[in-house]
Structure 1
Amino acid sequence: MNQSKVAAVVVTYNRKDQLLTSLDALLAQERTLDAIILVDNCSKDGTREMLQDMGIIDETISLESKEKVVSQKQVMAKKPSKDVIAVTFIGLSVNSGGAGGFYEGVKFGYEAGFDWLWLMDDDGSADPRALGQLLRYTSKANFLNSLVLDIKDPSKLSFELNYPDGHGVFSNKKEVIDNSVDGIILGQANPFNGTLVSKILIEQIGYPKKEMFIWGDEVDYQYRAAKSGLGIATVVSAIHYHPKAATKILNLPFRGLFIAWSGIPIKDYCNVRNTAYIHKKHFPKSVLTTFMKYLIYFVPRLDFSSLKLCYQATMDGLNERWGREKNYMK
């Protein structure tokens, strides 16, 4: 049995019911976790009260006059073995976005000395065998992803997964399994959805980039992992359930070209800014092409306010000006 010390890192914000499902799945893993690191991005929906009722955090915890609070409780795993799991709660006084939450969780787990950190959002749920299956492949890669399936239709993927040769995408579970080699798809992942990363990898590439706030921080982290040469793979027998990706896609009048656009200013700003930053760092030749897609879409529609947002976001990403997402918060 793999004797590595493993901690799950879960980031949550205002989704207490889904968080409860996620935590139940972690406590029910056949290969018991050594710890769970739960980062709460200042939820306002009663998340903390729910965790208090579960006995995961103390009733005395308060965030008044503090940037964050950290507490630890021993929680019983949901198994006949009665294993005990250390659950660390990190409560932040402001919403730092998914990027800030994963930064806090990965930093804490790395400094605590865990060999592997298992990263996920609050709306995902791991199959009971998932962790054990991932640990079977730790000699193959230092960035191991679960196979992320649609929670409502597990025969389909929640997010697209590229063919290793880059020609096409997988859309369902059978395609992935049929095309796997020795149980894995090399070079491909849906990051921060049941993603196991090693201490060795973190030593080399650092923590997730907290300044990105939302959208793209996981993509940036995957590209950094790819550049490290320490290996990326999806383990097809390690299942992680997640709601189907809901990103709105707008098609351009050119075959195969599209933009992702939600119509929610803060999300679109962060998406465009972070994409510009990612392309600058990892694919510099594509920066102009990316902005041109927004130009092609919005100019014929005379939607200059959206185009202005795209321009400002692109320039902020290229010049690494962070924190301006606050201008788009309601």
Structure 2
Amino acid sequence: MITPLVSIVILCWNRKEDVLESLRRIRDIEYENIEIIVVDNCSTDGTQIAIEEQFPEVKLIKMFKNIGIEAYNIGFKNAKGKYIVILDDDSFPRRDSIGRMVEKFEEDEKLGVVAFDIRNYYQYDEIINKKIDEIDNNKAIVSNNYIMSFNGAGAGVRSDVFEKVGFYPEEFFLYCNEQDTSFRILDSGYKIQFFYDVVAYHKYSPKNRASWRAPFYYTRNAFWLIWKNYPFYFALRSTIHLMYDCIYHSMEQSTWIYIKAMISAFLYMNQIKGKRKPVQIHIVENLRIPFNLSFTFYK
């Protein structure tokens, strides 16, 4: 099997036990030619010391403060692999997934992103895993009715695609970064494809970990996502709908957070100045963006 270098990039912040477990699982990967990069967003829980002591093979990059998803970009820029695997600090790939991912990329030069099948770590099912081994590795779940983004808890990206379209939108700080990047990848003519046999496990919390950060950044960034990527008519229509939703759900859920996020989007829209590049209409019409997700945290 072809074994080009694969760079695994993880961003962590105050999740010491989770990231340590993820790194232990990564050691079990059945693919030898990998480098592991962990970018720590100035954790205060001992994460940095623990990684240095227990995982000397990891390239640890230490941030001077929490800079959000911009830290991912620092990891991407330091990656030397032909392909980059993006993980959360509480996710890890199935031991055979990296090799399978590489096979997908090597077979299709227009495949820009391999979207992993992200499974709930707390619902691990050995029977399902055994069945996967028996299924045709090259078969993918594909729909002609829509195109898709990817989940940052498990995705593979060609390094040269990142270099061509740019990395994550640093102005977003948190959330919607995968969707924004997907618009640019798809508009450049590359495919984003989901493969059920390329698996990652993610520790979906049994309790909602949402604070004000999630609804605020999801909502604010939804406006910026629209303004950066949608053609004028679609941007105007979607902005009006999103403004209505902010007002409606604020009253419904007795919170000001959506209104604050909407105001912030307008007040600080200079952060996306010069970054607007409308994508092709068929991408807007067919790429599924979960705009309503931001309005579910207080229900």
Aligned counterparts of 1:302 and 1:29: Cα–Cα separation in 2: 47
Q: Any unmatched runs of 5+ in structure 2?
A: 274-299
Report the identity percentage. Answer: 20
* Partner-residue secondary structure (3-state), 2:24: helix
Cα offsets for 1:37-96 (capped at 9, x unmatched): 11011111111121132152xxxxxxxxxxxxxxxxxx3xxxxxxxxxxx3111111011
* Partner-residue secondary structure (3-state), 2:122: coil
Cα offsets for 1:102-134 (capped at 9, x unmatched): 11111211xx4x211111111002111110111
- Structure 1 residue 266: deviation in Å? 3.2
Amino acid at match of 2:154: G
CA contact (8 A) 1:148 1:190 kept: no
Aligned counterparts of 1:25 and 1:300: Cα–Cα separation in 2: 43
> Which residue of structure 1 lines up, in the alignment, with residue 248 of structure 2?
296
Cα offsets for 1:10-29 (capped at 9, x unmatched): 11111111101111122211
Amino acid at match of 1:8: I
TM-score (structure 2 length as normaliser): 0.76
TM-score (structure 1 length as normaliser): 0.69
Aligned residues: 255
Aligned counterparts of 1:22 and 1:301: Cα–Cα separation in 2: 36
Aligned counterparts of 1:216 and 1:245: Cα–Cα separation in 2: 19
- Indicate whether 1:20 and 2:14 are aligned: no
Flag the 1:311–1:209 CA change in 2: closer, same or farther, 3 A: closer
- Indicate whether 1:202 and 2:162 are aligned: yes
Cα offsets for 1:195-236 (capped at 9, x unmatched): 111122112211111221111112211222222211111121
Amino acid at match of 2:196: V
> Which residue of structure 2 lines up, in the alignment, with residue 278 of structure 1?
225
> Which residue of structure 2 lines up, in the alignment, with residue 45 of structure 1?
45
Match runs of 1:113-192 below 5 Å: 114-138=81-105, 139-140=107-108, 141-154=111-124, 182-186=138-142, 187-192=147-152
Amino acid at match of 1:296: Y
Amino acid at match of 1:32: E
Cα offsets for 1:131-152 (capped at 9, x unmatched): 0111111033121121101111
Aligned counterparts of 1:154 and 1:228: Cα–Cα separation in 2: 36
Flag the 1:132–1:181 CA change in 2: closer, same or farther, 3 A: closer
Aligned counterparts of 2:21 and 2:254: Cα–Cα separation in 1: 45
* Partner-residue secondary structure (3-state), 1:137: helix
- Structure 1 residue 311: deviation in Å? 2.7
- Structure 1 residue 182: deviation in Å? 4.6
CA contact (8 A) 1:142 1:200 kept: no
Aligned counterparts of 1:217 and 1:9: Cα–Cα separation in 2: 15
CA contact (8 A) 2:217 2:261 kept: no
CA contact (8 A) 2:216 2:261 kept: yes
* Partner-residue secondary structure (3-state), 2:66: coil
Q: Any unmatched runs of 5+ in structure 1?
A: 57-74, 76-86, 156-171, 249-260, 323-330
CA contact (8 A) 1:145 1:193 kept: no
> Which residue of structure 1 lines up, in the alignment, with residue 177 of structure 2?
217
Aligned counterparts of 1:152 and 1:223: Cα–Cα separation in 2: 31
Flag the 1:216–1:89 CA change in 2: closer, same or farther, 3 A: same
Flag the 1:273–1:130 CA change in 2: closer, same or farther, 3 A: same
Flag the 1:108–1:310 CA change in 2: closer, same or farther, 3 A: same
Aligned counterparts of 2:241 and 2:186: Cα–Cα separation in 1: 23
**Which residue of 90, 95, 120 corresponds with 2:66?**
95
Cα offsets for 1:154-209 (capped at 9, x unmatched): 46xxxxxxxxxxxxxxxx99xx9xxx995223443532222111122112211111
Match runs of 1:44-63 below 5 Å: 44-56=44-56
